[in-house]
C-alpha cells in the first residue's frame, strides 16, 4: 500500500507526462499549420463555424474568396475615382478676393522667382509669365469628402485583412482563390487606380 506522499509524487509524474504529450502534440500541429501548405477540404475560414464539409461547400468558399479579392480591387478603383472627383471639385471652386491681399497678377509681377520670356506664334510676340510652385499645400479638411475617404479606407483595410486571414490558413485552394481574384479584379479595373491608392 502506497502512502499519501508516494501517491502524490506518482500523480504529479503522470500529469507531467500528459502535459508534455499535450504540449508536444499542440506544438507539432501548430507548426504543421503555420509552416506547410495543405489542401484539406475541411479548413476553417474566419471561424470554426465556417468549415467546408464537402466538395460543394469548399467550392463555394473558393468562389467567395475570388469575389472578395475582386471587391478589394473594385474598392481601390472606386477610391481612385473618388479622389479624382474630389480634386476636380476643389480645382473648380471659386475663390474670393480677400481685403489686404494682392491679386494674383500683381503677386506674379512682383515675384522674384517668376521668369519672363517671349513666345512667338505666326509672327506675333506675347509676354508670358512662368510661375514656379514653391511648395505643396495640404488639401483642406472637408465634411463632404474626408468622412467618405475614411469610410473607403476602412472598407479597403477590412477586405484586405480578410483576404490575409484566408491566405494564413495555408490552404492551397484559398491561396490560389485570392490570387485568382486579384488577377481578375486587376484585369477588370486595374487601370483605374494608381499605385499609391
Angstrom distance (rounded) from CA 46 to CA 167: 11
SS3 label, residue 69: helix
The answer as to whether 167 is a domain residue is yes
Residue 181, pLDDT > 90, answer yes
Residue-wise pLDDT for 27-75, tens only, equals: 444 444 456 889 899 999 999 999 999 999 999 999 999 999 999 999 9
pLDDT of residue 92: 75
DSSP string, 120-147: EETTEEEEEEE-----PPPPPP-TTTHH
The answer as to whether 75 is a domain residue is yes
Residue-wise pLDDT for 138-161, tens only, equals: 778 888 889 999 999 999 999 999
Domain count, the chain: 1
Residue-wise pLDDT for 160-175, tens only, equals: 999 999 999 999 999 9
pTM of the full predicted structure? 0.61
Helix (H) or strand (E) holding 117: strand 115-121
The answer as to whether 155 is a domain residue is yes
Domain that holds residue 151: 55-87+144-197
pLDDT of residue 9: 47
Amino acid at each position: 500500500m502506497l502512502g499519501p506522499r508516494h501517491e502524490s509524487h506518482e500523480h504529479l509524474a503522470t500529469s507531467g507526462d500528459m502535459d508534455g504529450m499535450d504540449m508536444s502534440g499542440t506544438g507539432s500541429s501548430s507548426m504543421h499549420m503555420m509552416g506547410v501548405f495543405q489542401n484539406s477540404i475541411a479548413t476553417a475560414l474566419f471561424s470554426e463555424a465556417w468549415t467546408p464539409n464537402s466538395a460543394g461547400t469548399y467550392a463555394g468558399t473558393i468562389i467567395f474568396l475570388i469575389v472578395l479579392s475582386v471587391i478589394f480591387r473594385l474598392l481601390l478603383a472606386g477610391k481612385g475615382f473618388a479622389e479624382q472627383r474630389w480634386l476636380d471639385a476643389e480645382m473648380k471652386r471659386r475663390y474670393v478676393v480677400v481685403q489686404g491681399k494682392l491679386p494674383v497678377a500683381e503677386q506674379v509681377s512682383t515675384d522674384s522667382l517668376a521668369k519672363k520670356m517671349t513666345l512667338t506664334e505666326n509672327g506675333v510676340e506675347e509676354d508670358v509669365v512662368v510661375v514656379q510652385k514653391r511648395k505643396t499645400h495640404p488639401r483642406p479638411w472637408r465634411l463632404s469628402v474626408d468622412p467618405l475617404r475614411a469610410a473607403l479606407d476602412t472598407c479597403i483595410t477590412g477586405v484586405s485583412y480578410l483576404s490575409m486571414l484566408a491566405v494564413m490558413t495555408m490552404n492551397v485552394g484559398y491561396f490560389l482563390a485570392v490570387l485568382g481574384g486579384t488577377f481578375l479584379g486587376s484585369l477588370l479595373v486595374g487601370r483605374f487606380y494608381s499605385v499609391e491608392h
